[in-house]
Amino acid sequence: MQPYTATSKPSSLMIRNQSKHLLFHCKLTNSHRKELQKKKGLIKKEASKMGSWIIE
């Protein structure tokens, strides 16, 4: 896994828009699953997974 920079790919603008969309989608799914995960204490794990997944 390697974080990309703005100049590493010619389609950096597309990547930025895609990551914005992913973040928005994650917020939606997070709000739906937050209560279930809160009981199991998985929110922190999920957040760290989410962060690395977006950069991937």
d(CA 5, CA 12): 8
Q: Does residue 5 belong to any structural domain of this protein?
A: no
d(CA 47, CA 54): 11
Q: Is the pLDDT of residue 56 over 50?
A: no
Q: Does residue 31 belong to any structural domain of this protein?
A: yes
Q: Is the pTM of this model over 0.75?
A: no
Q: Does residue 34 belong to any structural domain of this protein?
A: yes
Mean pLDDT of the chain: 63
The pLDDT confidence band at residue 40, using thresholds 50, 70 and 90, is low
Q: Does residue 33 belong to any structural domain of this protein?
A: yes
Determine the pLDDT at residue 17: 72
- The range of the structural domain enclosing residue 41 comes to 12-55
Counting the structural domains of the chain, the total is: 1
Q: Does residue 2 belong to any structural domain of this protein?
A: no
Q: Does residue 3 belong to any structural domain of this protein?
A: no
Q: Does residue 42 belong to any structural domain of this protein?
A: yes
Structure tokens at 46: 């999920």
Q: Is the pLDDT of residue 20 over 70?
A: yes
